[in-house]
């Protein structure tokens, strides 16, 4: 923040010299009435105040859940969290679990992990944040993948899976969310799943 300080110095000297003569007669000076002060103008909200309030209406922690069949042999479930702060930034989190069926186990995992879920956490961070009325537009950074399980997953499989998830969940277009009371909706979230969020705090 750049601070500007303006200093003004005003100096005045008044000299009064008394002449060596008789004092002048005292004259009464007619007092003029003091001007009536003008009423104070009511304070009006600036555009920045209104914009700030509009931006902060999205602040809070929002949560939602979703479930859909990714492919016939897989069932994906997710817990979704959207944290918006200071009217200017957001973090999106998806905790995903993908379960195979006994008829279609994971081919890259050893038994018995090949019949269990593969889970991971995805985090997006806003790189652009814009509010227009009840709509919020966010452009997201590349996803960060963490907490990939099971831990017994071979290293080469883990690396390939992280690469695949990152490419699949990279959001190229802006995400637009609409606020209705304590509900925030979007047709597609960064996770590509439609989620209705509710504010929890």
d(C-alpha 122, C-alpha 78), whole Å: 11
| Sequence ranges of the domains in the chain | 49-199
User: What is the chain's percent helix, strand, coil content, to nearest 5?
Assistant: 15, 40, 45
pLDDT at 67: 64
d(C-alpha 198, C-alpha 185), whole Å: 9
Q: Using one digit for the tens of pLDDT, what is the confidence trace for 19-43? A: 233 344 444 445 555 666 666 655 5
**Which residues lie below 8 Å from residue 84, measured CB to CB, with a gap of 6+?**
58, 59, 60, 62, 90, 136
Q: Using one digit for the tens of pLDDT, what is the confidence trace for 116-132? A: 999 999 999 999 999 99
3-class SS of residue 110: coil
Whole-model pTM: value is 0.67
């Amino acid at each position: 923040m750049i601070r500007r300080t303006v200093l003004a110095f005003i100096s005045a000297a008044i000299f009064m010299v008394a002449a060596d003569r008789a004092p002048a007669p005292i004259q009464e000076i007619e007092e003029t009435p003091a001007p009536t002060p003008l009423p104070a103008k009511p304070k009006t909200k600036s555009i920045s105040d209104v914009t700030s309030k509009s931006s902060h209406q999205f602040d809070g922690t929002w949560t939602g859940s979703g479930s859909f069949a990714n492919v016939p042999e897989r069932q994906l479930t997710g817990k979704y969290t959207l944290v918006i702060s200071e009217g200017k930034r957001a973090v999106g989190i998806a905790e995903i679990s993908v379960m195979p069926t006994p008829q279609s186990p994971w081919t890259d995992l050893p038994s018995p992990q090949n019949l269990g879920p593969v889970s991971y956490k995805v985090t997006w961070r806003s790189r652009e944040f814009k509010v227009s009325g009840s709509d919020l537009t966010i452009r997201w950074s590349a996803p960060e993948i963490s907490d990939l399980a099971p831990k017994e997953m071979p290293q080469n499989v883990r690396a390939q899976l992280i690469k695949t998830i990152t490419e699949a969940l990279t959001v190229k277009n802006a995400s637009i969310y609409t606020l209705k009371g304590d509900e925030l909706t979007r047709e597609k979230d960064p996770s590509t799943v439609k989620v209705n969020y509710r504010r929890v705090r």
